[in-house]
Amino acid sequence: MERYERIFFWFSAAVLGLLLCCLAYITLFMDIHLPGHGGRIMPKDGQPLATAVLVTPPFNHPGIHEIGPGRYEAAVLAMQWIFFPRKIEVPAGSEVTFRVTSTDVIHGFFIPGTRVNMMAVPGYVTVETYRFRHPGNYLLLCHEYCGRQHQTMWGEVIVK
Ligand SMILES: [Cu+2]
């Protein structure tokens, strides 16, 4: 093997190894991973998708529900151009499982400063669990362009 080939080979292997280590670190130690899939909502024949979403549990009663000590489930609807509910209140230290879907187009569901970062896809339920250890007001943003009033689509997670 030529000298430059050897350098190129080992440099490429080192970059690949470094990236694999980064991936292992964020997965194992920072708990960053792809959001889970919580099922599909299939409209019955002729039914509009929005109707199917609005009658399917838990989205027929969107909001925050306590499912155990310090554990909550938040069913959140994303639609042009609001999150429903817009405000979610939990005590500090709570573990919140977000179940999110959309009634119309693809929206984003992003809470800056946390690892909650997912898509709200019409008819698909996206699931992510996060523990809010520190009190504060966490902004909830749509970070996927979803139409004319996209910039007004926000909400809040209030941790007391
Ligand atoms: Cu948007």
Q: What is the pLDDT of residues 1-43, one digit of tens each?
A: 799 999 999 999 999 999 999 999 988 888 788 888 888 998 8
Residues facing residue 103 across a β-bridge: none
Q: Look up residue 88 and give its amino acid.
A: I
Whether the pLDDT of residue 134 is over 90: the answer is yes
Q: What mean pLDDT comes out for the span 62-78?
A: 94
Distance from Cα 148 to the centre of ligand 1, integer Å: 9
Q: What mean pLDDT comes out for the span 92-101?
A: 95
Distance from Cα 32 to the centre of ligand 1, integer Å: 23
- Selection from 158, 160, 151 nearest residue 80 by Cα: 151
- Dist CA 93 CA 76 (whole Å): 20
pLDDT of residue 31: 79
> Which residue in the block uniquely carries the two structure tokens 């999110």?
100
Alpha-carbon distances of 112 from 9, 54, 109, 118, 142, rounded to whole Å: 39, 28, 10, 12, 11
pLDDT of residue 149: 94
Distance from Cα 156 to the centre of ligand 1, integer Å: 15
Residues 59/101, Cβ–Cβ less than 8 Å: yes
The DSSP-derived string for 36-64 is: EEEEE-PPPTT--HHHHHHHSTTTTS-EE
Distance from Cα 140 to the centre of ligand 1, integer Å: 11
pLDDT of residue 1: 79
- Dist CA 121 CA 115 (whole Å): 19
Beta strands 154-159; 87-90: pairing state = parallel
Distance from Cα 82 to the centre of ligand 1, integer Å: 9
Distance from Cα 141 to the centre of ligand 1, integer Å: 8
32 or 73, greater pLDDT: 73
Distance from Cα 9 to the centre of ligand 1, integer Å: 44
Percent of the chain with pLDDT strictly greater than 90: 84
